[in-house]
Amino acid sequence: MDSSELRQKFLEFFEKNRHKIVPSSSLLPTDPSVLFTTAGMQQFKPYYLGEKSPWGPNVVSCQKCIRTSDIEEVGDERHLTFFEMLGNFSFGGYFKKEAIELAYKFIVEELGLTIDYVTVFSPDNIDKKDWRKNVPEDKESFKIWHDLGIKNIRKEGIDNFWGPTGDEGPCGPTTEIYVAGLEMWNIVFNEFLCSPAKVFSENLGGQEDKKLEKLETPGVDTGMGLERLAMVVQDKKNVFETDLFQLPLKNIILTPGGADVKDSRIAADHLRAIVFLIGDGIKPSNKGAGYILRRLIRRTIIHLDKLFLPQNIIEKTIKDLINYYGKHFVDYKSILGKEYEVLSVFNEEREKFDETKEMGLKEFYKRYPQLKAQRIEPGGEIKAFTSQVISGKDAFYFHQTYGFTLDIIKDLSSIHIVNVDEKEFEKEFKKHQELSKTASAGMFKGGLADDKPETIKLHTAHHLLLAALQELFGKQVKQKGSNINSERLRIDFSFDRKLTDEEKKKIEDMVNEKIKEGLDVVKREMPIEEAEKISAQMEFGVKYGNTVSVYFIKDKEGNVFSKEFCGGPHVKNTSELGNFKIIKEEAISSGTRRIKAILENSK
């Protein structure tokens, strides 16, 4: 039985049993406490809380879902980030007996499968401090399964209590069905409303307690992954051998046992997620759902590169995915009109990442194939040493400098069984966020996030960069914004097109030439009128006082290369700066470009 038949068989079975078929909702939920739709019940949440359902008390759906909690497991036999969840739901229409009996009939009688065992909820193995400890054992479900002839019934703890999605909502004990050694179907009995108690609880070790109240009308919420079900019905060893992957992703999925199997599986899974996320209107960004999409695209690119697939094959695969899902299930028909948008967003993000990826990989692997972690020395110098742990500082450096997400860094490291210090990475990330807030609040001068020696050197390099841009493209190039921290400089400037590789090389060469010349950096204070007369550069939109500081970068004979309004601080001589390198150039709006650059081997 192919997956389309299986999907339809499920929906029609419940339709015959007094359920209304409801279309899949968007991957972007209306619940602001979660980023994505992670379960079929999310669109029905209000109906468990008393709101009347427009479809009646019993519904069934096949819901597209995204979950990234198990992203590190993707590539094994069954874990995925994008999946389809088959589910039947009741808001007071029926409860435990009918829910269990319907599940039994579909698995055993409709599909002819054998149930290995089932699980039910018991508080016996739950820690006494846990907020679910006082939920009673589900003896009713135990008896229903026993009466159906199931002998292997296991009692489990918190694994058999589901919810809520987000901070609060319906939740309750579950019973799980296992087939062919896999957890196949989870049936949740929404008996409670969970909400934060908003009190400090010493019993919970200082964590916020949760409050459970009985729902006026209990409900049923079930979920069964289509991919896992197809794997069992089609008698496959893993989900990637099912038609859901083999048909639309045949150009990527490799024969089991090949050297690049995990790379192909990760890329195949992520491409499905990417197509549906973009199809639902999500764009790559640095926060929220957009950041998850960016992570997925960039991780996919790394794994596709390992497969040496040409761009036309990747684009064909994306088109095949869109056609396969759009034509095989009515709920996904709208994706057929999104081909251009999906390809445009994917390729644009790929181009952005490509600008820094190769330099980042080259730096990451100093002595390939033996993994060499790169230690960042004070002053920006990079030294290689073999390590069993990549420090969080180093991981964050690659994240900020080259756009490598933590997932990518962990993927690159796992090949050589090297760990990444994630806790230190998170500390560095939070520190960076605080510095960014400080810089945004204007607590440091000249767009500087701090006054570290590395930041000061990059600030001086920023002046050289602006002067080089004007030297090459004319004085009409104006600074529109800047941000400088200890890892990199960023300048926004007026320019109406993308820089060529040759132009970027000329900029680098000119800046590095001025660094080698050892130019002096001199500060002079003067009336603003005088500074304007000598054509000192000023940042667009910034208001200056009557007396301003102007920094000159000049040689011993007084020949000036750069002169800018600036509050400092700066180095005394350009010879302190090291090697200047552009790591990224991109458009940020019409007529405005952005350059990010670093200094290597500064003194």
Share of the chain above pLDDT 90, in %: 51
What are the backbone angles phi and psi of residue 145, rounded to the nearest 5°?
A: -65, -40
Angle of the 261-279 helix axis to the 339-364 helix axis, nearest 10: 140
pLDDT at 288 (0 to 100): 87
**Residue 384: per-residue pLDDT:** 46
CATH code of the region 450-600? 3.30.980.10
The rounded mean pLDDT for the chain is 85
Closest CA to 431 of 410, 460, 400, 454: 400
Give the three-class secondary structure for 15: helix
SS3 182: strand
**Whole-angstrom Cα distance, residue 111 to residue 2?**
12
72 pLDDT tier (thresholds 50, 70, 90): confident
Contact yes or no for 145/153 (Cβ under 8 A)? yes
Contact 174, 135 (CB under 8 A): no
Band of pLDDT at residue 203, cut at 50, 70 and 90: very low
DSSP state of 282: -
Q: What angle do CA 312, 316, 319 make, to 5 degrees?
A: 145
* R_g (Cα) of the chain, nearest Å: 29
Upstream peptide bond of 218 is cis (omega within 30 degrees of 0): no
Measured between alpha carbons, how far is 275 from 204 in angstroms, rounded to an integer?
A: 42
What is the 3-state secondary structure of 83-146?
EEEEEEEECCCCCHHHHHHHHHHHHHHHCCCCEEEEEEECHHHCCCCCCCCCCCCCHHHHHHHH
Instruction: Report pLDDT for 115.
Output: 97
Measured distance between the N- and C-terminal CA atoms of the chain, rounded to whole angstroms: 67
Q: Which CATH architecture has domain 3-243?
A: 2-Layer Sandwich (3.30)
Query: What is the arithmetic mean of pLDDT over 426-450?
Result: 58
Pairwise CA distance, residues 76 & 237, whole Å: 11
Q: Which residues contact 483 (CB under 8 A, 6 or more apart)?
A: 439, 447, 449, 489, 490
> Does residue 413 surpass a pLDDT of 80?
no
Q: What is the mean pLDDT of residues 546-562?
A: 88
C-alpha angle with apex 540: 536 to 544, nearest 5 degrees? 65
pLDDT digits over 175-199, tens only? 999 999 999 999 999 999 888 764 4
Q: Which of 106, 114, 250, 249 is nearest to 182 (CA)?
A: 114
- 153-156 vs 115-121, strand pairing mode: parallel
Closest CA to 252 of 197, 328, 305: 305
As given in the structure block, the two tokens for residue 116 are: 């290995």
The span from the CA of 60 to the CA of 17, in Å, is 10
Q: Which range, of 17-26, 300-309, 375-384, 429-438, averages the lowest pLDDT? A: 375-384
The amino acid that residue 575 corresponds to is S
The residues spanned by each domain of the chain are 3-243, 248-422, 450-600
Contact predicate 66/51, CB 8 Å? no
Q: Note whether 122 and 135 are within 8 A (CB).
A: no
pLDDT band of 13, cuts 50, 70, 90: very high
Q: 3-state class of 175 per DSSP?
A: strand
Q: What is the pLDDT of residue 306?
A: 84
Q: Do the domains 3-243 and 450-600 sit in the same CATH topology, yes or no? A: no
What one-letter code names the amino acid at 509? D
User: Is residue 60 scored above 90 in pLDDT?
Assistant: yes
Instruction: Answer whether 0.75 is exceeded by the pTM.
Output: no
DSSP 203-259: GGTTSEEEEEEEEEEEEEEEEEEHHHHHHHHTT-SSGGGSHHHHTTTTTT---TTST
Q: For the chain, give the number of residues.
A: 603
